[in-house]
Amino acid sequence: TSQMISFWKKLYHKHIKKTRVQTVQLRGRLSDADNEFLKADAKKYILSAGGVAKKVQTTKQPIFFEVGFGNGSHIVELARVHNGALVLGSEMYMAGVVNTLRSSLRQEIVNLFVTSSDARVVLKKMPEGSLERVYTLFPDPWPKVRHNKRRLVKKDFIELVLSKIKLEGLCVIATDWADYADEILEVVQTLKMNGQVEETKLTEEETQNIFKTTFALRAQKEGREISLFTLKKIK
């Protein structure tokens, strides 16, 4: 009926059309102890998307941002090594947030702050040219062909990241899925041709820190090659 058609049109335009394409699979539940930890010990280090943007706007420290830090093995080490920097991370999987903050607080790391907000929302709130580095390590590969559109690291995402990085700053991306790497390489080649970025390398220590993460070790164990893109913003 016309009333039903009208109802579905309104529903689509009000909710479905505005729904962001899911780029991460959320799993797991938190224990009572985890929830208590988040409300007490870790509360100071958990920010909203707006809270992250405010920190970025008010600090004079160099700023590193990690998109989807998982269980925290890379970002915690990053904050430990660069203890004079402000290290920020986004992770929608709350068990990862808990694990990361337990690890950082155990090591008395006080320069690491996290958010469970979508990284794209967080980045859009940040001032342009405010970040030293952005890491996107082993994003969800969505390996089924019909799900490829859900992959996070596409042209619009990389351009968003680059807009927030300072001149000479770095955009670091890693994946262990060959077809995903091919997609990223296509974007990188276009950016290089346009004179926006040049490829560079991390130090051996920084590279090894990435290759020791949970996803990197799993990839090596399962025989998948890791593709690491380190892009320096030059325009």
Catalytic residues: 140
Q: 225 and 178 in contact (C-beta within 8 Å)?
A: yes
Residue type, 18: K
The single residue listed with the structure tokens 């996803």 is 215
C-alpha distances (whole Å) from 123 to each of 11, 66, 84, 88 are 29, 11, 22, 11
Residue type, 116: S
Strands 131-137 and 227-233: unpaired
Alpha-carbon torsion angle 52, 56, 61, 67, nearest 10: 50
Helix axes 204-211, 214-221, angle to 10 degrees: 70
- How far, in Å, CA of 166 to CA of 234, rounded? 9
Alpha-carbon torsion angle 161, 165, 169, 174, nearest 10: -20
Helix axes 73-81, 94-106, angle to 10 degrees: 30
The single residue listed with the structure tokens 């060959």 is 178
Q: 88 and 52 in contact (C-beta within 8 Å)?
A: yes
